[in-house]
Amino acid sequence: MTNTLFDALFARHAQNDAPFLTLDDGSTLSYAGFIRRVAQLANVIASAGVSPGDRIVVQAPKLLDTIALYGAAVQAGAVYLPLNTAYTQNELTYFIEDASPALIVCDARSEAEIRMIGDTPVLTLSANESGTLSQAADGQSEQFETVPRGTEDLAALLYTSGTTGRSKGAMLSHKNLLSNAQSLTELWQITDQDRLIHALPIFHTHGLFVAMNTALLAGAQVRFMSAFDAGAIIEELPRSTLLMGVPTFYTRLLADPRLTKDLTANMRLFVSGSAPLLAETHVAFEARTGRRILERYGMTETNMITSNPYDGGRVAGTVGFALPGTEVLITDNGAPVADGEIGMIETRGDNVFQGYWNMPEKTAEELRENGFFITGDLGVKDTEGRVSIVGREKDLIIAGGYNIYPKELEDVINDVDGVLESAVFGVPHPDFGESVLAAVVLEDPELTVEGIAEIVEPHLARFKHPRRYIVLDALPRNTMGKVQKNVLRAEHV
Ligand code: MLC
Ligand code: AMP
């Protein structure tokens, strides 16, 4: 029996003694050793009563066992559901209630809070691979009979915030993940000779799928960093070949005078995505290192959609061409526009997800019957098919590669007693690309912005917190009554 994703990414390495993960303490685990750990964790999952198709929620630090748990979930036929470690209890409650998982794995520090949310079984996974999950795995067999799963079965559920304020679970099948990993591995020529510097979180598409799935498929070595640290990356560059990061990685690396041509002489490829890479960053990086960053574009719902070419022109400010097997249309109300004209980016292919968990209406709004997914990003295609993103129709802020939906924040701010209304928007930020500003109109003149922040902040992960509040007499509106965030942005940069 087969398991599409497990066979392609994991099982093939069962006898592979080549090095796989090198951790912060300098220890290296072989591929075969990793697969044995995956099997031990799969045994724990199965003994916890997880059945094929069940969701496993994972909110844990970036550890060897966290990434092995991803493999174990796939091997056990479960659906892996990773969550940002910054989420608060309020945010977690929604995800857990919506996804109704069969098992939750979390840091021991949040165990008590998570147990208050419901009666789902909980195992812990904390720093230094301590906790009940790792302990239980240590005593398990290194063999596990892989649960059969086909191309259409779900492998992962990743939540992405919605413009309506409620997060939506994107259902990703074995085929969605594998097809994208295959396209990227081939296009970026990733092989077992590569050594990837992995400094992204593993609860999002970029760090988990784009980086880990391609490394696993190719049998590449991975320097698995528990967190982003520009100094540590600088030290790893001479013995590595590949880096994947969000634009903030590159601006922070550029701020270090040690970044030079000599330091990067062994590097084969720098990839950027998840947020717009400023053309000036691209140009400055090339001037310093002689390397052109390869920018690609994707989404949680679609995996990667376009990429600049590996060979040939990588053009600053563009996201390149549709990946093989992936179609890209630029549309106006669903009808393709002429090359050179701005429109909605839509995409279709094996990369596109299966719909939103428990939200058939939302799925129908964004995923057309003909298979095209409406991204909410505005773009333009040149006559050769090269895509540039020129804006976003969806109201979204991207800070340091994390998505922040203004509607979610506005709902929380508007609930504060004494606030009449609010408008949350992004303003340029030198490190994170954008940062969050909240304009509030008060009902109660006694209310202060400090008072608002104190009420709002416990509800939201730290990265979503407005970095500035401004009090206005009224919000600017157009004749339709819609708040004009472009006006606010222009006035308050
Ligand atoms: C940290 N902070 C952020 C932030 N990251 N605030 C806004 N946006 C962010 N992204 C906050 C911290 O809480 C802290 O708050 C302060 O900023 C300084 O933290 P730091 O120590 O400088 O941050 P650091 O840990 O270095 O993190 C920065 C970062 C990280 C850029 C390394 O944000 C990161 O790893 N981003 C990658 C996100 C990612 O993987 N995106 C992919 C999504 S998938 P204070 O004030 O309390 O000190 C996707 C699809 C696709 O989009 O196409 O890939
Ligand atoms: P997420 O919902 O976290 O998957 O974020 C997806 C969004 O990130 C896309 O819809 C884009 O708006 C944005 N994005 C991803 N890659 C790029 C890129 N290279 N340039 C500009 N925006 C990007």
The answer to whether 39 and 142 have CB atoms below 8 angstroms apart is yes
Ligand 1 binding pocket (C-beta < 6 A) is: 200-201, 204-207, 228, 246, 248, 273-274, 298-300, 399-402, 432, 462-463
Q: How many whole angstroms from 449 Cα to the centroid of ligand 2?
A: 31
Which is it for the CA torsion 47, 52, 55, 57, positive or negative?
positive
314, 389, 408: residue to mutate for ligand 2 pocket, most atoms within 8 A of CB: 389
Q: Residue 226, by phi and psi: left (phi above 0), alpha (psi -120 to 50) or beta?
A: alpha
Ligand 2 near 300 CB (within 6 A) = yes
Predicted structure pTM score: 0.97
* CA–CA dist 242, 192 (Å, integer): 12
Ligand 2 near 6 CB (within 6 A) = no
Nearest ligand, CA 86: 1
* CA–CA dist 78, 156 (Å, integer): 8
Q: How many CB atoms lie within 10 A of CB 462?
A: 9
pLDDT tens, N- to C-terminus, the chain (493 residues): 799 999 999 999 999 999 999 999 999 999 999 999 999 999 999 999 999 999 999 999 999 999 999 999 999 999 999 999 999 999 999 999 999 999 999 999 999 999 999 999 999 999 988 999 999 999 999 999 999 999 999 999 999 976 666 899 999 999 999 999 999 999 999 999 999 999 999 999 999 999 999 999 999 999 999 999 999 999 999 999 999 999 999 999 999 999 999 999 999 999 999 999 999 999 999 999 999 999 999 999 999 999 999 998 999 999 999 999 999 999 999 999 999 999 999 999 999 999 999 999 999 999 999 999 999 999 999 999 999 999 999 999 999 999 999 999 999 999 999 999 999 999 999 999 999 999 999 999 999 999 999 999 999 999 999 999 999 999 999 988 899 999 999 999 8
Q: How many whole angstroms from 247 Cα to the centroid of ligand 1?
A: 11
Nearest ligand, CA 294: 2
Q: Whose CA is nearest to atom 5 of ligand 2?
A: 299
Nearest ligand, CA 376: 2
Give the pLDDT of residue 406. Answer: 95
Q: How many whole angstroms from 299 Cα to the centroid of ligand 2?
A: 6
Q: Two tokens at 272?
A: 């950027």
* CA–CA dist 130, 145 (Å, integer): 26
User: Counting atoms of ligand 2 from 1, which one is nearest the CA of 295?
Assistant: 19
Q: Whose CA is nearest to atom 10 of ligand 2?
A: 299
User: Counting atoms of ligand 1 from 1, which one is nearest the CA of 199?
Assistant: 35
* CA–CA dist 4, 1 (Å, integer): 10
Q: Which of the 8 DSSP states describes residue 227?
A: S
Q: How many whole angstroms from 385 Cα to the centroid of ligand 2?
A: 19
